[in-house]
Structure 1
């Protein structure tokens, strides 16, 4: 996936959550080092999906996205 084709992005706080999203069709874009407010250093998994892929999701995934778990769209 080219970055210019990414329309939606979201984050996962751990490898297990990232793997679950990948299984749902999301693509891993980057893993970043982050510092939480408590000072703990943890990875942040950044995942993306194209507009076409996003439109093909299941109803359960659409409901989850509507509850604020998706950070994108990118070009909004």
Structure 2
């Protein structure tokens, strides 16, 4: 669980705080809300074959050598 939190905090630091100056305490929730909306609606995700998390479209399954969508390692 802590690794997931660290990844999210690192993403926020790199993608938000490195580019935007937070001017006061009321500005921070606005900036984080905008970033959350961007991540949840527009930003491409590797797990979705670089598609944004749009609920109306799902990524096609990618089959590997053994025919299963998950694949197995030898």
TM range (shorter): under 0.3
TM-score, normalised to structure 1, is 0.23
TM-score, normalised to structure 2, is 0.23
Relative contact order, higher structure (CA 8 A, sep 6+) = 1
**Greater CA radius of gyration, 1 or 2?**
2
**Greater strand content:** 1
